[in-house]
Amino acid sequence: MARYEHLPIYKQAMDVAVHFETIVAGFSRYHKHTLGTDLRNQSRAIVVLIIQANGERDKAAKLRELRLALEELLVLIRLAKEVKAFKSFAAYQFVVEQMASVCRQNEGWLRSLAAGEGEDARGPEVGRRRSRRSARAD
């Protein structure tokens, strides 16, 4: 299995997961067992997806899956903010800043893979469509 502990995206995702483990303990009883559980599970799933993507030969597919998981976690974070589950704004702010960084790193990883393969970061089908269009223009 490929090493992943050195990856900045792994480190930040792990920081977010650890942060959720500590701040969910401060959620109200209702939010702790509903929204808190979802936040904790999704943040751990993101760490696992990063590890899996690093070990895959076809990283792009797993990174697109990671993109969706990150979006799901962002929705849960926004929901937690709206229902005032976070005890402080600082706890929310830390999570949002860390998640923004993880999302940027994921997109950068996808772009670097796409540049190496000559396709768009959104997927191989987008790159193929562009190449057909440019072929028609010639």
Q: Are 128 and 118 in contact (CB under 8 A)?
A: no
Structure tokens at 74: 């962002």
**What pTM did the predictor assign?**
0.79
- Those residues whose C-beta lies under 8 Å from the C-beta of residue 106, and which sit 6 or more positions away, are 9, 63, 66, 67, 70
What is the reported pLDDT for 51? 94
List, for residues 74-131, the tens digit of each pLDDT value. 999 999 999 999 999 999 999 999 999 999 999 999 999 988 776 554 554 444 444 4
Q: Give pLDDT tens digits for 3-19.
A: 888 899 999 999 999 99
Residue 98: partners with Cβ closer than 8 Å, 6 or more residues away = 12, 15, 16, 19
Q: Measured on CA atoms in the order 62, 41, 92, 82, is the torsion positive or negative?
A: positive
How confident is the model at residue 1, as a pLDDT?
A: 53
**What does the DSSP 8-state code read for residue 26?**
G
Interior angle at CA 18, CA 17 and CA 20, nearest 5:
65
- Whether residue 72 contacts residue 99, with contact meaning beta carbons closer than 8 Å, is answered with no
**8 Å CB contact between 32 and 24:** yes
